[in-house]
Amino acid sequence: MIDNQTIQRLRELPIEEVAERLGIKVSRHKALCPFHDDTTPSLTFYQAKNTYHCFVCNAHGGTIDMVAYKMNMNFPSACRWLADESNVIVTETTKPFVPHPTTTFTPERYARYFEHPWLTDSAMRFLYDERHLDPRVIRWVVWFEYNEKEERHLDPRVIRWCKINSYCDRNGINWLQIPYFDIEGKLTGIQLRNLDYSKSTPNVPRFKFPRGSLCHIYNLPVIRMLKQGEQLFITEGCSDCWSMLSAGRKAIAIPSATLLKEEDVDTIMRHLPPDTSIHMYPDQDAPGERLFLELKEKFPDLVHHQLPEGCKDFSDYYLRKKWK
């Protein structure tokens, strides 16, 4: 077993250097959080305390915690990985190691929420905005509401396929429940999106994940629907994936290449029908292009599509085409 002195040395390794070794690009003590669908840097590093904290999904801890969470390892394995990467000699001890209790994701606890999903009024507005509008003013209203409130105008059949659920908690906050399934359709994790999120209320997170949720790849079951020669699109987040599906294209979402494991890539490639091509519309920003390049290392034949000027992501592009 690893002795306490070795563990302490690992905890004292510079947190930002550990993040870089994990593939997390740090700039001015901030980074895109790899533990949720992050588009603006929400992960902050505190050099004085040698810790990290995400103000969106509330992920936090030290060097070993970051490795364990990022690499999906238990405590001893994370220590040995970090020691190998940092050239720290591991000293063993005969004292038995007693790990801290951990909570794993139990699909049985949450599966019932998605057997008969339903949408609150807030969820309906966010996803559809189903009000009947005067055609003479529809364009102005749609663009105003899209910019201000992010309505998506998605295809209801897509939302039913994805089994999106919603609820209002005891504090009056509306949440979207987004289930993640493996390729066989088994529930592996849940992403909660705060529909009432505002930067003026930073204590209420924008995203939450039940403990142990595996949210690496979204909408994996669609791969089994692919036919020979069809295209599969990779998007950066769930909302872009819904827009892509609403546009009639089969899509999955991979928010972070660093979260992907080799077995994830193998699963996708093994189940693709012959002559399937993989495509992507990267977001019109540096993180979007960086994600494309990282994914291309894992999917060498990934095809790059350029969004029209003025479209920040595919959801924006879809909405503009829909109301053109």
Biggest CA–CA distance in the chain, Å, is 78
Closest CA to 32 of 21, 19, 17: 19
Number of domains, the chain: 3
The per-residue pLDDT for 146 is 39
Of the three residues 38, 55, 86, the one that is the final residue of a domain is: 86
Instruction: Give the pLDDT confidence of 152-185 residue by residue, as tens digits.
Output: 678 899 999 999 999 998 888 999 999 999 999 9
Q: What is the pTM of this model?
A: 0.65
200 vs 293 pLDDT, higher one: 293
Whether 92 is covered by a domain: the verdict is no
Instruction: Give the pLDDT confidence of 260-301 residue by residue, as tens digits.
Output: 788 888 889 999 999 999 999 999 888 888 889 989 988 999
Specify whether 245 is located in the same domain as 321. Answer: yes
Residue 216: is its pLDDT beyond 60? yes
Q: What is the CATH number of the domain that holds 235?
A: 3.40.1360.10
Specify whether 269 is located in the same domain as 229. Answer: yes
Task: Give the span between the Cα atoms of 18 and 25, in whole angstroms.
Answer: 11
Whether 97 is covered by a domain: the verdict is no
C-alpha 202: how far from its chain's center? Answer: 20
The per-residue pLDDT for 95 is 55
Domain residues for the domain of 15 are 4-86
Whether 279 is covered by a domain: the verdict is yes
Question: Which residues, in sequence order, are bridge partners of residue 54?
Answer: 43
The per-residue pLDDT for 186 is 93
Helix, coil or strand: residue 11: helix
Whether 225 is covered by a domain: the verdict is yes
The per-residue pLDDT for 200 is 62
Whether 255 is covered by a domain: the verdict is yes
Specify whether 63 is located in the same domain as 166. Answer: no
The per-residue pLDDT for 224 is 93
Specify whether 226 is located in the same domain as 320. Answer: yes
Specify whether 82 is located in the same domain as 149. Answer: no
Token code pair at residue 157: 């059949």
Closest CA to 50 of 64, 68, 38: 64
Whether 38 is covered by a domain: the verdict is yes
Residue 141: is its pLDDT beyond 60? no
Token code pair at residue 324: 């053109």
H or E element in which residue 235 lies: strand 231-235
Phi-psi region of 20 (alpha: psi -120 to 50; beta: other; left: phi over 0): alpha
Whether 94 is covered by a domain: the verdict is no
Specify whether 297 is located in the same domain as 308. Answer: yes
The contacts of residue 99 (CB under 8 Å, 6+ apart) are 74, 75, 76
Instruction: Give the pLDDT confidence of 89-139 residue by residue, as tens digits.
Output: 776 655 554 555 445 788 888 888 898 999 999 999 889 874 433 333 334
Residue 149: is its pLDDT beyond 50? no
The per-residue pLDDT for 305 is 95
State mean pLDDT over 65-72.
88
Of the three residues 60, 86, 112, the one that is the final residue of a domain is: 86
Whether 96 is covered by a domain: the verdict is no
Specify whether 297 is located in the same domain as 225. Answer: yes
Specify whether 144 is located in the same domain as 161. Answer: yes
Specify whether 232 is located in the same domain as 194. Answer: no
Instruction: Give the pLDDT confidence of 6-53 residue by residue, as tens digits.
Output: 888 899 999 999 999 898 999 999 999 988 888 889 999 998 889 999
The per-residue pLDDT for 219 is 96
Specify whether 163 is located in the same domain as 256. Answer: no
Of the three residues 178, 213, 248, the one that is the final residue of a domain is: 213
Q: What is the CATH number of the domain that holds 31?
A: 3.90.580.10
Rg of the chain over CA atoms, in angstroms? 21
Specify whether 46 is located in the same domain as 130. Answer: no
H or E element in which residue 167 lies: strand 165-168
Specify whether 120 is located in the same domain as 35. Answer: no
